Structure 1
Amino acid sequence: MSDGLNDARAMRVAEIMTDFRNIQHYLVQLRATPTAEEYYIEGYSLLRQCMAEAQSILQTPFSGSAGAATGNPEHERQQLKAIITDAAVRRFQCQRAYLRAHAGLRWMNSRNSILREQKQNASHLGALQQADATLRNELLATTDAYVENTLRTQDAAQGKWLHEDPSLAQIQQILMSRP
């Protein structure tokens, strides 16, 4: 028997998918143009990895059951719950890539500020090492719990209906079960 919350579930799907689309849009806009010598430096590699993750998320097939609308509220409830879970997992993955990419962009801007369009030399070494260390620390701080907290805090602040969003443990379990 349906619980009368399918409209709320449908609205939640739309909210999550809007967030997902916005994060994907941001990730697609990333532009880093390292020189041949800089191409494999940690921050530039990170940015490429984040963009590849975003593409991979888009290519992952929907994990729920896709069936035609039957007019059965209970079937619709189950379908909407599956879509909420799938969309929430994708949004989580995109948010994680976004936060990591943002750290990479801060690193890139810091590096550019240090070098000021000069070739890297010994006088830059200390400042560049500090920028690298800052990047590594930011990446270490970008835990799954932190990513999930950024999403939940934002959703709660906007008064969104979160009752059927998957927990962090569920999201991690789903991600570990994917090939």
Structure 2
Amino acid sequence: MRVAEIMADFRNIQSYIASIRASPSAEEYNEEGYLVLRRCVAEAQALLAQPFQMQGAGKRDEEQDKAHLRRIIQDAAVRRFRAQKIYLRATAALRWVNSRAAILQGHRPHAGHAPALQQIRNTLRAELASITDQRVELSLRSTDTSAGKWLQEDPSLSVIQRLSGNALDRRVKN
């Protein structure tokens, strides 16, 4: 049941990311917030494309079944964790997009906009810096705890970080 809960969360986060729409003009295309959004979408697509590493298929005893189930829970937890981190970064970038649109009100940027645009750029950078692994884990665990979900089998943050790093290492090698 826990695997289904974690994967449902992962699916929901992925659908939120997939629904992100931003249409920068040619002039805005390389602005920081739009760069962050494109990076988040690319990371989310790569995460979806990453296969589960099946090990030990075939007949197994009860201990092997338990170990296999732990690997499945770990894989699901890592995917959900990474998706949540991407989502938090994407929503910070969307706040930047909306703030920028409110400042410019359909006009091209000019010197009078510079202080306000710098302020929202600084806010975006501060928000992105605040999205730490610890914050992501706390947000996920808090939500799970308040929903009364069973968390005893969930991997710790250090395990998630290690497994997430291993997944990135495998992707870089391929």
Fold match (TM-score > 0.5): yes
* Residue 33 (structure 2) aligns with: 43
**Equivalent residue for 2:130, pick from 141, 145, 163:** 141
Cα offset, 1:26, TM superposition = 0.6
Whether the 8 Å CA contact 1:17–1:87 is kept in 2: the answer is yes
Instruction: Give the secondary-structure state (helix, strand or coil) at the position aligned to 2:108.
Output: coil
Distance in 2 (CA, whole Å) between partners of 1:161 and 1:167 is 14
Is 2:107 the counterpart of 1:118?
A: yes
Q: Distance in 2 between matches of 1:66 and 1:41?
A: 47
Q: Match of 1:38, SS?
A: coil
Instruction: Indicate conservation of the 8 Å contact 1:50/1:98, yes or no.
Output: yes
Counting matched residue pairs gives 168
RMSD: 1.4
The one-letter code sitting in structure 1 at the alignment partner of 2:51 is P
In the alignment, does 2:147 pair up with 1:129? no
Report what 2:48 is aligned to.
58
Gapped regions of structure 1 (runs ≥ 5): 1-10
| Aligned-pair identity (%) | 52
CA distance in 2, matches of 1:35, 1:66: 51
Distance 2:55 2:121 in 1: 44
Residue 29 of structure 1 aligns with an amino acid whose one-letter code is: S
The CA distance in 2 between the partners of 1:15 and 1:129, in whole Å, is 41
Distance in structure 1 (CA, Å) of the matches to 2:56 and 2:35: 37
Deviation at 1:65, TM superposition (A): 2.1
The amino acid across from 1:121 in the alignment is H
The offset of 1:74, in angstroms, is 3.1
Determine the structure 2 residue equivalent to 1:156. Answer: 145
Give me the TM-score of the superposition, normalised by structure 1.
Answer: 0.89
